[in-house]
Amino acid sequence: MSIKHFKITFITVSIFCPLFIWAQQTFKPVLTTGKTWEVATFNRSDGLNETQVPTGHYIVSVGGDTLVNGLECTKIVIDRTDGQHQSMEVIAREEDGKVWRVNDNGSLFLLFNMSLKRHDPIDAGFVLMEDVVYVNGTYRKRLTIDSGTDGTEYLYYIVEGIGISKDEWLADGGLGIAQPGEYCRMVSCSENGVVVFTYDDFIMPSSSLNSIKTNHSIDAVYDLNGRVVSNFWRGGIFIKGDKKIIF
């Protein structure tokens, strides 16, 4: 092989190898020691806006390993910050990008699945977009979910190593936090006391593996490839914050 051909081959491998590694690597785990989430509950009638007043605040933390029917599982501890309720403990299991809640009878309830691809069905909706976000020095796969329902919670997000942005994280997981007429929203995720992800990071622009984007605006409008757009076309589908816009 000539030096010229070697240089071309080396450059080609350098460009595409990170993408190959990303596609082949296992997902960053969610249920890791030292991981905690701040979760808030809100009245559904208030919609999604910056003036909402939470009806409750909770700290969800990883509490250690346990065995259920021979399966390796993890204890999850839930504390209300105002001390009005005793701590709750549930059991969860994580494997290959999937996280389940383990019921009392040992059956599994799927909370979320990071291995889904674009257009895959999920509940009443489907995966609208599959991309990568770069937050606090870490690349993470992100799924944007079209829930298939009307209202202010039309879109929600799943991010590897973090979890889900809205009420599927706890309420639909059967953990009993949200009361009738309420929903849950993840406020932040921390590792060993350091915040690594916030709610606003769910809706930041897409990042490729060879470009780092740290500035974002929740007021911007994006296409399904995560690009900021200013011109709209008939039949186009766009995303702004938590909402899907169809022109």
What is the C-alpha separation between 192 and 77, in angstroms, rounded? 15
Q: What pLDDT is stored for residue 95 in this prediction?
A: 92
Instruction: Classify residue 120: in a domain, yes or no.
Output: yes
d(CA 151, CA 163): 22
Number of structural domains found in the chain? 1
Residue 63 inside a domain? The answer is yes
Q: Report if residue 5 sits inside a domain.
A: no
Whole-angstrom distance, CA of residue 6 vs CA of residue 159: 38
What's the pLDDT score for residue 5?
47
In a domain, 185, yes or no: yes
In a domain, 166, yes or no: yes
Helices within the chain (DSSP H only): 3-24
CA dist., res. 139 & res. 88, Å (int) = 32
Give the per-residue pLDDT at 176: 52
Query: Along the 247 residues of the chain, how does pLDDT read in single tens digits?
Result: 444 443 444 334 344 444 433 444 588 999 999 999 998 888 777 665 556 788 888 899 999 899 998 889 999 988 888 766 678 888 999 999 999 988 888 888 888 899 999 889 987 889 988 999 999 999 999 999 988 776 555 788 999 999 988 755 455 444 555 566 777 888 999 999 999 999 999 988 887 544 333 344 445 677 766 666 756 666 677 777 656 666 6
Domain boundaries, position 107: 32-246
Q: Are 64 and 201 in contact (CB under 8 A)?
A: no
**Residues in CB range of 246: below 8 A, 6 or more apart:** 235, 236, 237, 238
For residue 21, tell me if it sits in a domain: no
Report d(CA 212, CA 202) in Å as an integer. Answer: 16
The predicted structure's pLDDT at residue 125: 86
Tokens of 247: 């022109």
Going by their DSSP bridges, the two strands 35-43 and 56-68 should be labelled as antiparallel
In a domain, 22, yes or no: no
pTM value > 0.75: no
